A and B are shown apart, each in its own frame.
Chain A
Amino acid sequence: GAVVSQHPSWVICKSGTSVKIECRSLDFQATTMFWYRQFPKQSLMLMATSNEGSKATYEQGVEKDKFLINHASLTLSTLTVTSAHPEDSSFYICSAISGTGAYEQYFGPGTRLTVT
């Protein structure tokens, strides 16, 4: 149980285009989902927290107009990188929790974005 999937697993896009990444909780309802960014050989940096049906809360320094997050249902959150540039190339990882008292985050396998 507690499986989180991401789609696509990798994507290559041209500079200036937008790309959408999906994060799904397959066997539980995710009240909260988190989006992280991981640069090569570095740690995960939290980008934003999203709760179903409400606006995402972005961490300081993260451009919310560039990284659009939608948490439309209890099993799906999407991250859209708008007008992507090469510096947006990274590994994007989502995680999900179920319930306000939950302590464990379940992580997706990640999406590798390469912007050319």
Chain B
Amino acid sequence: AQSVTQLDSQVPVFEEAPVELRCNYSSSVSVYLFWYVQYPNQGLQLLLKYLSGSTLVESINGFEAEFNKSQTSFHLRKPSVHISDTAEYFCAVRNPQGAQKLVFGQGTRLTINP
């Protein structure tokens, strides 16, 4: 079984500041890793994913995440945030084999202050 821990429930930052949202996972097998973003009153949107290959993955809107197997982490970073990045961010894992269900972390609410 897999589990995901997002260490910060809320992260307030100023606009144009850098941000890191932390995600650690636990699994006895290899995993696929995902970051989803949820804007207010909307469903989840895939932000980026790690399946295999390069441990650094990037999204089209400037976010990046690095898979660190030894630390079982998949932290999300952005060097300069915008007001529009205000949202809830969920880290999720999935076993590449078997059932395709996702296990989500508790979520981190990112609030950007002007």
Identify the A interface with B (CB < 8 A): 4, 6, 32, 34, 41-46, 49, 93, 95, 97, 100, 102-105, 107-110
Contact A49 B101 (CB under 8 A): yes
Interface centre among B49, B51, B107 (most CB of A within 10 A): B107
Minimal beta-carbon separation of A24 from chain B (angstroms): 13
Q: Closest B residue to A93 by CB, please name it.
A: B43
Task: Take A43-B106, A93-B44, A110-B43 as given contacts and tell me if A103 and B94 are in contact as well, using a CB distance cutoff of 8 Å.
Answer: yes
Cα–Cα, bound, A49→B96 (Å): 16
Minimal beta-carbon separation of A49 from chain B (angstroms): 6
Contact A34 B101 (CB under 8 A): yes
Contact A109 B43 (CB under 8 A): yes
Contact B32 A103 (CB under 8 A): yes
Identify the B interface with A (CB < 8 A): 32, 36, 41-46, 49, 51, 90, 94, 96, 99-107, 109
Minimal beta-carbon separation of A48 from chain B (angstroms): 10
Task: Take A44-B90, A107-B45, A108-B43 as given contacts and tell me if A102 and B100 are in contact as well, using a CB distance cutoff of 8 Å.
Answer: yes
Contact of B102 among A4, A6, A42, A46 (CB under 8 A): A46
Task: Take A44-B90, A44-B104, A110-B42 as given contacts and tell me if A103 and B99 are in contact as well, using a CB distance cutoff of 8 Å.
Answer: no
Which residues on the A side are within 8 Å of B51 (C-beta)? 103
Contact A103 B43 (CB under 8 A): no
Which residues on the A side are within 8 Å of B41 (C-beta)? 110
Minimal beta-carbon separation of A94 from chain B (angstroms): 9
Cα–Cα, bound, A97→B44 (Å): 14
Minimal beta-carbon separation of A89 from chain B (angstroms): 15
Cα–Cα, bound, A47→B100 (Å): 14
